[in-house]
Each structure stands twice: as structure tokens, then as C-alpha cells.
Amino acid sequence: MDISTFSKKNDLVLTADEIALCEKGIKFMRNSLDRHHEETHIFRMLDTFLILEREYMSVDHAVTVLSICWHDVWKSRRIFIPKKVRFMFDQVFEGIGSAIIFFKNSKGISLRKRFKSAIAILLHVRLDVVLPRSLRKIYAALFLSQEARLLQDLDALESCNLEFLENFKKVYTPRFKKYPEFLDIWNDYYYKGFRNMKETVFYSKSAKRIFRDQIDKFQTEAEQYLKGVGE
């Protein structure tokens, strides 16, 4: 799939320059050093976007599609290092890194869309989940555009997607076998953090519905895998 065909098929409003910039972002992902985050991750998010965007009547198509295509480009350039400090740094810094790369590469589109896309990319990392729900609502009202909320929903849904999990197994099983200490890092990340994800972290009703439909099967398979791969 290419963005030009995708946008025309689904009546999305993107200029030729915006389409070219989306394709450039996908090229980064196609050549990703992190094979857990590559172009299929982007294409699944684009497909899910078509479901969620019905609840976002005023969303800017170009900003949303650009932010989807570019939100993980920083990860695409990272060499694997099995250290906890590096792992945690990557989780926190990825939004900043990808936003910087996007902004440097996006001079051919309007400044307004550059900033809106960069901010959505910057804020797609869900650091706000550590806040009480009431404060998360204030944070969203103050800082998150419709496009940023949509990107957060899309990326969170991907993190509990079964196809994403299958790709994770393929990429990480050899790493866990070679570096057992890295499996410990992932177990901590999953059981102390990710496993506690609730539907309240999502903004749209459609995202909450998709999450409910897939989370039980995802958790069962993920936990069976994490237990089995360490034996």
C-alpha cells in the first residue's frame, strides 16, 4: 500500500507534498533497525485510523497521517542494546527524537501542519498514565489536540494487537535466548506497567471497544509467551 492510493481510496485530503513526506516516513520504517517497529506497524495504524476518525469530525487528515507515518522513526534508527537504562531511555525519549527528525525533514509543508504533526508525535508517548485520571483529563484538555489524542489511541491499540505480538516474538525470541537479563527487563515492563492498561487510557469509544475485544486474548498469549521463552 502507498499513501497516495490510501488517501484517494478513503477520501483523505492530502497535498502532493504531504503524501511525499508520508512516503519518506514509511521509507524510514521500511529500513528500520528495530524490526519490531517497521512499516506493517504503520499500515495497521492507518487501517485502524479509518475506524476511529469517525469520532473526530474536525481532525486534520494530513496531520494525523503524517504523525502516524513518522511517530516511530527515531526507534527505526536505534541499534539494539540489552541494558535497562537504554531500554527505559528509549521509552521516554522516543517522542522527542521522532518529533525532531520529522521537523527537520518536513520543510516542504505548511508551518502550521509541521508544528501540529510534531507536537502529536512528541506527545504520543503515554507518560501521562502515571497521573490520576482527573489530572489526565486536565492534561489532555490543555495539551492534546484531536490529532494527538487519535495518535495516542492508535499506538496504544497497536501495543496490544496480536499481529504486533507475533512480530515481537519473531524479533525478540533470539534476543531473550542470548540475553536472559533482557527478558527480566521486559517482564518488569509488562507486569508492572503494560499489564495494568485499562480502557480509561483511551479517548474514543471505538478505541475502547477494540481494546475490550482484543485485550484478554492478547494478555493470555503474551503471558504464555513470556513464561515459555524463559524456560
Q: Where are the domains of the chain?
A: 3-229
185: closest CA among 77, 32, 80, 29?
Answer: 80
Q: How far apart are the first and last CA of the chain?
A: 39
Task: Read off the pTM.
Answer: 0.94
Q: 134 falls in which pLDDT band (50, 70, 90)?
A: confident
- For residue 90, give the C-alpha cell: 528509549
How many whole angstroms separate alpha carbon 85 and alpha carbon 204? 33
Burial class, 78, CB count within 10 angstroms (exposed 0-12 / middle 13-18 / buried 19+): middle
CB 41 within 8 A of CB 127: no
Q: Give 13's Cβ-side CA count (13 Å radius).
A: 5
Q: 129 pLDDT exceeds 70?
A: no
Average pLDDT over residues 206-210: 97
pLDDT surpasses 70 at 214:
yes
Q: What is the pLDDT of residues 33-42, one digit of tens each?
A: 998 899 999 9
1: amino acid identity, one letter: M
- Angstrom distance (rounded) from CA 110 to CA 114: 6
What is the share, in percent, of the chain residues with pLDDT greater than 70?
A: 99
pLDDT, tens digit (0-9, with 9 covering 90-100), for 136-149: 888 788 889 999 99
